[in-house]
Structure 1
Amino acid sequence: MSTPQLQDWFDALDATWPGKAVHALGPWRIREGAGGGQRVSAATTAVADVSDAEIAEAEEFHRSLGQNPLFQIRPGQEALDARLAARGYGKNDATHLRAAPVTQFEPAPYLRSIMHWPPLALTREIWAGDHIGPERVAVMERAEGKKTALIGRDGNDADRASGAAFVATHGAIAMLHALVVLPNMRRRRSAHYMMCGAANWAQDNGADWLAVAVTQANAGAGALYTSLKMPVVGEYHYRGL
């Protein structure tokens, strides 16, 4: 099992959480998000820097889509980051990509993670309580690889749901998104077992790695992934007006 390279993680991120459309414009790939959030609405480029004129073209195209100009900055793009900062763009949502081999996760206890697709009404209800509404569920529906929703179930009360998440594959990588644990179910290892269930599902569906994207400000999630021995394999942040 070979270790994915940095671009592989980003390719999986894009494939498992896709925008409505991706438009090629000069050096840019500009995502049309349709209300699905920053990740599916940002422009990216494979080069380290672009000109101010090329940034202006991207800004105009964003606005033609009804979106505010937004750029995702990846490793090695410090010059682009500085150019955007000089144009008044603020930095937000610094994010880590974390990953680990699926084989290192323990088997999830029986029925602690219930896989299903399409998402059940209960799954949608749990997501909606954490601001993951129809536009973000539409993002999940667009993912073209193998995919599943999952409901976590509390170990102390088997009839109670503890949370929900979404997992999709791209090649050897499965990425987990939209992990929500209900407030009254936290600190009961629900997220831990949901991650194990996701990894078990990923292995059964041909993936070698389980990955997540987590904002650096989310200390609780960072601690969870550290406890699961999922090191940082990449990072990015946004620049927006």
Structure 2
Amino acid sequence: MDAALARAFEETWPAAEYADAGGFRVGRGLGAGGRVSSARPVGIWTVADIAAAEAIHRGWGQQPMFRAPDGDTALVQALLAAGYRHDTPTAIMAAPVSALADRDIPPLTTFAIWPPLAIQRDLWAAGNITPARQAVMERVTGPRTAILGRIDDRAAGAGFAALCGDVAMVHAVEVLPQFRRRGLAGWMMRQVAVWAAEQGATRIGLAVSRANAGARATYDRLGFVEVAGYAYYAKDL
């Protein structure tokens, strides 16, 4: 990732607190998932720093976990040697705001709202966006919005977007299972683009599991391209 996208990736989905262990920065996620509960390289690290980061995790009562960028063979080998297991390969994708502004959104299909409505919180909770993950949104200090998606005259999808510099990052996209594969996620992403343009953003970024073929296909059709990737490496608490 370039520096602007990397900064947006971290600042629009922040941990509750951070602690440094040599060349690693460890996030305290308070149960909000791997993104905010992992250690990531921020400088030159040593094998001893891996143990120090693990100690911070254990002191916080969270699973020891690292986020290793694709291509960082030295870190991956060190983590495997320390007993960590590979998990959840993830792609980071980006697109120009203009790529998603090539058509009008059908009336009453999407809305950008902050703070989130109760129905949006219910939609998140029905998926994998637990209250602990929703609490991450409240920690964002920059411009932010919650996206509501509607289909068949009912609320069916929710997402979150936040701005850092000229990058709008998208997180927590959920569509109810019975309404998937009908294009709603695409319209929600186009609503993000409308909001992002109003905020002066020129790019939209997101992270998606490589195993999520349906979401990857949607983002491909919308003009997103993969720009980086990472995987988690974890061991039992």
TM-score when normalising by structure 1? 0.93
* Alignment map for 1:68-107 (pairs within 5 Å): 68-105=63-100, 106=102, 107=104
Q: Which residue of 2 aligns with 1:35?
A: 31
* Cα distance in 2 for residues equivalent to 1:133 and 1:46: 28
Q: Which residue of 2 aligns with 1:6?
A: 2
1:167 corresponds to 2:161? yes
Cα displacement (A) at 1:50:
3.0
* Alignment map for 1:141-180 (pairs within 5 Å): 141-154=138-151, 157=152, 159-180=153-174
Q: 1:63 aligns with which of 52, 58, 61?
A: 58
Cα displacement (A) at 1:6:
2.6
* Number of residue equivalences: 233
8 Å CA contact retained: 1:108, 1:200: no
TM-score when normalising by structure 2? 0.94
Q: Which residue of 1 aligns with 2:17?
A: 21
Counterpart code for 2:107: Y
SS in 2 for 1:227: helix
* Alignment map for 1:193-212 (pairs within 5 Å): 193-212=187-206
SS in 2 for 1:94: strand
Cα displacement (A) at 1:76:
4.3
Cα displacement (A) at 1:27:
1.2
Cα displacement (A) at 1:183:
1.3
SS in 2 for 1:39: helix
Q: Which residue of 2 aligns with 1:182?
A: 176
Query: Where do 4+ consecutive residues of structure 1 move more than 3 Å?
Result: none
Output one character per residue of 1:78-128: Cα deviation in whole Å (capped at 9) or x when no partner: 101111111211111111111111011133223211111111110000000
8 Å CA contact retained: 1:6, 1:234: no
Output one character per residue of 1:188-240: Cα deviation in whole Å (capped at 9) or x when no partner: 21111111011111111111111110010000001001111100011111110
- Cα RMSD for the two superposed structures: 1.3
* Cα distance in 2 for residues equivalent to 1:221 and 1:129: 18
Q: Which residue of 1 aligns with 2:114?
A: 117
Counterpart code for 2:188: M
8 Å CA contact retained: 2:112, 2:147: yes
* Cα distance in 1 for residues equivalent to 2:19 and 2:121: 29
Counterpart code for 1:163: G
Counterpart code for 1:11: R
* Cα distance in 2 for residues equivalent to 1:7 and 1:83: 25
8 Å CA contact retained: 1:9, 1:234: no
